[in-house]
């Protein structure tokens, strides 16, 4: 009988050539690594990926100045790493040989950079026709901004997430979570899994690309679909909330999402429940609890 312990190995035998950096790309390849894929990360010989020191290297007691930053560790678990000079002929040949044996190649360099290095899709497909070639590009291709760079805050601003976040009468605010970057990484991982599934039957490779600035629109909030010609109202982020406390009291309030968390305005009087009346909410099973069928119990809402 299958268990949760078997899930991390479901991509065992899949080889991924990882030429990503920062967050959108590494979050994608890390998710695949957690599922059992063998991920080999190619880094710059001069200091490695920039994310290793992006937010400062750790230098606490007992740590060296060369300790990798928590930011890098967060998105690069379960990966192997090698350093290659992609601008040298020898380094380019090495990466092509790795691509020849890989199932997936992922990159998120600046627009046009991978082609200038000599590792564009046509080149890689020539050495490995069955490879799944995945890219993250800030604004995608074919638009007026296709050559522009993009980071998470740009994606959240242009995608509309910031316009529906904040105080009702205040300016747009950026959510703390990096939805533009990690959201793109997860969508790209899904695209890669779909391409691998299709390749199993057809033997054909594929090219997949995700844009952080389009990620919010690919998972639209209903509030962004109303009156698209006008800025979305941040007042729409307020909704009714009922919380039942132990002892039978239920308090109704309004919860407003802000960039600093949740602001709760309570109204009305607590409603007292009779002690012999069952709670109207089903208690969620403990995390990891199993049903009679042996499958993990889903969490009740």
Q: pTM of the entire structure?
A: 0.69
Q: Which residues face 82 on adjacent strands?
A: 42
**Domains, the chain:** 10-223 (3.40.50.10540), 235-272 (no CATH)
Q: Is 132 exposed, middle or buried (0-12, 13-18, 19+ CB in 10 A)?
A: buried
The whole-angstrom distance between residue 94's C-alpha and the CA centroid of its chain comes to 29
pLDDT at 212: 73
pLDDT at 291: 39
- Does the active-site annotation cover 18? no
* Phi and psi, residue 227, nearest 5°: 50, 60
- How many angstroms separate the Cα of 217 from the Cα of each of 14, 157, 254, 283? 31, 11, 27, 35
Catalytic residue among 169, 181, 217, 218: 181
Per-residue pLDDT tens over the stretch 112-159? 999 999 999 999 999 999 999 999 988 877 888 888 888 888 888 888
Instruction: Compare 214 and 200 and report the one with higher pLDDT.
Output: 200
């Amino acid at each position: 009988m299958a268990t949760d312990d078997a899930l991390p190995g479901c991509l065992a035998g899949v080889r991924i050539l990882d030429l990503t950096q920062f967050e959108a790309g590494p979050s994608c390849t890390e998710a695949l690594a957690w599922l059992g894929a063998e991920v080999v990360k190619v880094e710059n010989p001069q200091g490695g990926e920039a994310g290793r020191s992006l937010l400062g290297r750790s230098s606490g007691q007992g740590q060296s100045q060369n300790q990798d930053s928590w930011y890098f560790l967060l998105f690069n678990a379960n990966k192997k790493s090698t350093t290659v000079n992609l601008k040298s002929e020898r380094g380019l040949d090495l990466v092509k040989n790795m691509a020849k044996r890989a199932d997936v190649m992922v990159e998120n360099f600046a627009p046009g950079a991978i082609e200038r290095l000599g590792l564009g899709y046509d080149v890689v497909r020539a050495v490995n026709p069955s490879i799944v070639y995945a890219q993250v590009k800030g604004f995608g291709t074919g638009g007026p901004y296709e050559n522009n760079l993009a980071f998470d805050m740009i994606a959240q601003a242009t995608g509309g997430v910031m316009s529906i976040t904040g105080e009702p009468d205040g300016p747009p605010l950026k959510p703390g979570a990096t939805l533009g970057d990690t959201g793109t990484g997860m969508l790209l991982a899904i695209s890669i899994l779909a391409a691998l599934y299709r390749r199993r039957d057809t033997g054909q490779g594929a090219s997949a690309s995700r844009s952080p600035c389009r990620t919010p629109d690919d998972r639209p909030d209903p509030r962004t679909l109303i009156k698209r010609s006008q800025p979305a109202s941040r007042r729409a982020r307020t909704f009714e909330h009922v919380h039942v406390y132990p002892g039978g009291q239920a308090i109704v309030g309004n919860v407003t999402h802000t960039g600093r968390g949740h602001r709760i305005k309570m109204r009305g009087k607590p409603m007292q429940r009779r002690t012999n009346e069952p709670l109207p909410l089903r208690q969620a099973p403990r995390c990891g609890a199993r049903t009679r069928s042996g499958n993990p119990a889903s969490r009740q809402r």
